[in-house]
Amino acid sequence: MPPEPPPSRPPGSRRWRKGLAAGAVVCAALIAAGNLYVLSTTRAELVATVAEAPARPYVLVLGNRIFPGNIPSRELAARLETGRLLYAAGRARRIIVSGLSQPDYDEPRAMAAWLQAQGVPAADVVLDLGGYRTAASMADTAALGARSILVATQGYHLPRALYLARRAGIDAIGVPSANTRKSIFDQGRTVLRELLARAETVVEVALRGVRGGG
């Protein structure tokens, strides 16, 4: 008795798989295009060191995680140190600290306390309590009247931050902070997250513009 032929897959199943594959290709192409656009349009607004930064009225330090006791994470401390160095070198007259502010978790006040402990006068530190995300930080900075700034954050974050600054009507130059992510796993996760965030930002700005913290 001849063996029975293997059961054929239903046509609908094949179409579903092809559609899924085509959708994945389209999504990957859109993510790549969004990243290329953000990177190419902000490259001229980056400097490599504090010494190369032009003088601006403000440096904006973007928030990041803090620990109990209002202790900045290593990544946030690196951003704050960049802001402090820019201030000390006369590249910025005031420092805007922007981050998430909640009753039991307050990045901007922790950031301000860190700077003041390093000798920055309180009068030269401006708090933005509505900077729960990068877009909100830029919108709030524009609302403060700061139209010419330096931005202090890690290099992977700067292109997206500068893209959002321009869309908020701000002339911004990015100054990279030290990268504190040491393990390959952490670095890979950060790169993947930022690839997706850049693409999402391009779409969001096209649909809604840049919005503040409310």
Residue 174 lies in a domain: yes
Return d(Cα 136, Cα 127) in angstroms, integer.
13
Beta bridge partners of 126: 96
76-105 pLDDT per residue, tens = 999 999 999 999 999 999 999 999 999 999
Confirm whether 20 is domain-assigned: no
CATH number at residue 107: 3.40.50.620
The helix or strand, by DSSP H or E, that contains position 134, with its residue range, turns out to be: helix 134-143
pLDDT at residue 53 tops 70: yes
The answer to whether residue 30 is domain-embedded is no
What pLDDT does 30 receive? 85
Q: Quote the tokens at residue 187.
A: 């670095």
At 15 the pLDDT is 76
Residue 2 backbone phi and psi in degrees, to 5: -65, 145
Is position 114 within any domain? yes
Total domains present in the chain: 1
Residue 7 lies in a domain: no
* Tokens linked to 17: 């798989």
pTM of structure: 0.86
Q: Containing domain of residue 117, as a range?
A: 42-208
In a domain, 133, yes or no: yes
CB atoms within 10 A of CB 187: 13
Looking only at the bridges linking them, the beta strands covering 101-102 and 92-98 are unpaired
The mean pLDDT of 106-110, rounded to a whole number, is 98
> DSSP string of 59-87?
EEEEP--EETTTEEPHHHHHHHHHHHHHH
* Average pLDDT over the chain, rounded to an integer: 91
- Whether 3 maps to a domain, the answer reads no
Is 30 in contact with 66 (CB distance < 8 Å)? Answer: no
Q: What is the length of the chain?
A: 214
Q: Which of 191, 163, 161, 8 is nearest to 82 (CA)?
A: 161
3-class SS of residue 200:
helix
Determine, yes or no, domain membership for 49. yes
